[in-house]
Amino acid sequence: MSAKSTWIISYLKLSNMENYANCCHIAMDKRRNVLMWILYFMSEFCLSSNQVLRIGGIFETRENEPVSVEELAFKFAVTSINRNRTLMPNTTLTYDIQRVNLFDSFEASRRVCDQLALGVVAVFGPSHSSSVSAVQSICNALEVPHIQTRWKHPSVDNKDTFYINLYPEYSAISRAILDIVTFMKWKSVTIVYEDSTGLMRMQELIKAPSKNNLKVRIRQLPSGSSDARPLLKEMKKGKECFVIFDCSYKMAAELLKQLMSMGMMTEYYHFFFTTLDLFALDLEPYRFTGVNMTAFRMLNLDSPVVSSVMERWSMERLQALPKADTILQNRIMTTEAALMYDAVFMVAVASQRATQMTARWDGLTGRIVLNKTDGLRRDFDLELISLKEDKNAKIGVWNSFTGLNLTEARKDNTNDSESLFNRTLIVTTILENPYVMYKKSDKVLYGNDRFEGYCLDLLKELSNILGFTYEVKLVSDGKYGAQNDKGEWNGMVRELIDNIADLAVAPLTITYVREKVIDFSKPFMTLGISILYRKPNGTNPGVFSFLNPLTPDIWMYVLLACLGVSCVLFAIARFSPYEWYNPHPCNPASDVVQNNFTLLNSFWFGVGALMRQGTEVMPKALSTRIVGGIWWFFTLIIISSYTANLAAFLTVERMDSPIASADDLAKQTKIEYGAVRDGSTMTFFKKSKISTYEKMWAFMSSRKNTALMKNNREGITRVLTTDYALLMESTSIEYISQRNCNLTQVGGLIDSKGYGVGTPIGSPYRDKVTIAILQLQEEGKLHMMKEKWWRGNGCPEEDKKEANALGVENIGGIFIVLAAGLVLSVFVAIGEFIYKARKNSDIEECCDGGAEHFLQVPPRHQEAGERAGPRRTGQPPLPPQTHPAEGDRHIDKTATRHIPQLITDELL
């Protein structure tokens, strides 16, 4: 017999059933919605049969597999309803169960015909899509309600008039997942699906990148195998930390084990499972891993009714299969079983409430409201559950109309999954004095005891506050972390990116490029870039260092001022009548007057005032006293300033550094300079757009082999041994200069930045570490730790040096000047003697030839000259001369002896 003839015979059998035909012809209007038809159908059936209500169930099974959970839930629901006589007091609910092979749609069609021949009022199942379509076609043709409890993609034509599905509507689930991704602020997400239906459920999320700037990567689990470790390895290598798994709860259980073996069960991963039965699994092995795991749940476990039903279900399963190996925790009821229970419960309630024409029930899966046009469940709630250390916490509720609503527990920012208590964190660091150093000890040290320093003290304080333990490991390549031309990172930054370490506690600078790949806490230390250079060798004062307090220009100006004042004083003294006086006060009738301020005396007056010694010549006139007073004031200031600076210039060594700032470095090429390779300082100059720093980076990059150092220790050695300047952090320079007095900081800070604790992106530890650092800062412990490790023996300060005894090398020039002055005076004296002797001899020769004529001058001429007025001279007048008698030729030697003196006086 062909399949077609079998179908016709079955249909004819149904047509001959008079009772069924009468029931079907009562007010059978296809335009009415499916729910109203169910209620009316149940009412009419109850009027015709008040004792038995039969329902049919078609369940798919696999070979050598136990009974499906849907069939167990179907029987459990019927038994529970019959036990509760208050629900159906006059009616007994019976069932007819048919088992079909998976994917056998023809067998499912034949079995549903058999059930319809028995007069079932509703058909439950099957679950596979091909069988569902066949059964649905028959139910639509014969106008029998078909009830589903599994996800099914709706038909395009929407002609399934007698179709009801209690599973949440497919597009609503997709919107719920998108809301979760948006709330979590994920920038990228990986969708891992088990079969093609998963892509249908993820339609809203797949279309999200065009709207929400979300990067979505889609992967499929291997078909025919439960081993997904190759796929997980690729995801781990690709840093895919935010993953949505669309799979059954059985596959989810396998994935959790494999994720654990792959080392992906850490706090840096966030897994979201679309299965509604994730928290029915045994999650105890993963509870303390710190992994972020969330999922939806339909069962309202807070309801006493739900808890009671689930407890009875667990007890019956335990009694029926006491030794069964199940992946479910305590044989808890799954969402699939709860939906079947609610579906049977809905039919029973509908048969009793037909006269109320209601379309709402409260079941194990919450509020059940069916759409009157397509029979789908569009109004429902999903609880958002997160894995915690102590329990599975409800952190929110998603409603199909109102969206996501957070609970108060989630708004409180204290959740156990982000707690650091009793966690062991891997801390990466780098050897750098005084942050991390090997501890000096006579014994062999292990673990964290090998190290000491500022960062170790900081770690200890953070551990005391947050309650975690830690394991310190040195970075493998000995670098802080920089990005190469290919965009790859190294050093501690790389270890944080690869989740090899949980924290990076080191002098790790917070920079823009690092902040894009890792997270930082608030800075625990602020600093800037400066220049480390050796102290210049001091220059000892020379023998003429007494001239150093005043510049050569000032010395020249003082000399010119002295000459100028002398000339002015000479001119004013000559002009003023009050500077002329009678050298013989006892002879008032003398016609000779004298002026002390000759040109030489005026200069001597200026020199005497400048040397603070004074002279025997003093001004008498008001005008000359004004000149003298101003000159004395001038010399007072000059000598005081000179004396004040003289001690410093004689006792202190002069430190003349060839560079004073970064600009000085950039302007020269004699002194080589650089920074630590692949450090933040190098990155600063590499990324800087300031012309000076660009020029400096061009210099450093052109000499990478010699300018860039491997670490600070190598750079410090280079500074001490060669003409090299190292650009590094100011805090490190401060520490080094406290312990090596040959090194010093040159110039100020080039920039301003800070050291922070590094964490991987999205780490739940960052905020807690930040709060702990702020607490340490407010308590002053950060300052105390810095004082502890930075304080050294120190270098003697310049202003605290004791004055040294002055030696010949300090003031030897004074003796040279003294000796030179003495020698000069001897030569001048000899010169004066020779000059005077020669002048006297010339005068005597002249007088021998002209004395006779000179003495024959008539007395009247002399008298006329005497009556002409007093004669001014700068020297005492000549002694009285006796005029010889006329005709006397004798020359008076006494008179001629004063002739050279008269000539000299007139010149001066």
**What does 226-278 look like in DSSP terms, one character per residue?**
---HHHHHHHHHTT--EEEEES-HHHHHHHHHHHHHTT--STT-EEEE--TTG
pLDDT given at position 611: 82
C-beta separation of 656 from 746 below 8 A: no
d(CA 356, CA 374): 21
DSSP 8-class letter at 297: E
d(CA 891, CA 887): 12
Determine the length of the chain.
Answer: 908
Q: Which of 233, 234, 298, 245 is nearest to 270 (CA)?
A: 245
How many other C-beta atoms can be found within 10 angstroms of the C-beta atom of residue 400? 19
d(CA 462, CA 470): 10
C-beta separation of 170 from 154 below 8 A: yes
Residue 397 identity: V
Residue 710 identity: K
Cα–Cα distances in angstroms (integers) from residue 694 to residues 188, 663, 699, in the given order: 36, 12, 9
Helix, strand, coil percent content, the chain, rounded in steps of 5: 45, 15, 35
Q: Which of 449, 452, 513 is nearest to 480 (CA)?
A: 513
d(CA 296, CA 155): 26
Q: Which of 174, 178, 215 is nearest to 197 (CA)?
A: 174
pLDDT given at position 21: 33
Residue 839: in which H helix or E strand, if any?
Answer: helix 808-855
Residue 767 identity: D
pLDDT given at position 633: 86
54 - beta bridge partners? 94
pLDDT given at position 287: 85
Q: Which two tokens stand for residue 495?
A: 């270890």
d(CA 563, CA 5): 143
d(CA 108, CA 100): 6
Q: Which residues contact 487 (CB under 8 A, 6 or more apart)?
A: none
What does the DSSP assignment read for 458-511? HHHHHHHHH--EEEEEE-TT-----B-TTS-B-HHHHHHHTTS-SEE-SS-B--
Give the CA dihedral 334, 335, 336, 342, nearest 10 degrees: 120
pLDDT given at position 811: 52
Pairing verdict, β 215-220 and 592-595: unpaired
**Residue whose tokens read 């050093």:** 491
C-beta separation of 528 from 643 below 8 A: no
How far does Cα 238 stand from its chain's mean position? Answer: 24
Residue 95 identity: Y
Q: Which two tokens stand for residue 115?
A: 């059930």
Q: Supply φ then ψ for residue 454, to 5 degrees.
A: -60, -45
Mean pLDDT by 10 residues, the chain (908 residues): 32 33 35 45 48 88 76 91 82 89 86 90 83 86 87 62 83 87 88 86 80 85 88 89 91 92 87 89 85 89 87 83 63 88 87 56 84 81 87 87 74 48 87 90 88 93 91 91 87 90 91 90 90 76 72 86 86 82 78 82 86 81 83 85 75 66 86 86 87 90 86 88 89 85 85 90 87 92 90 62 54 60 70 80 72 49 43 45 40 43 44
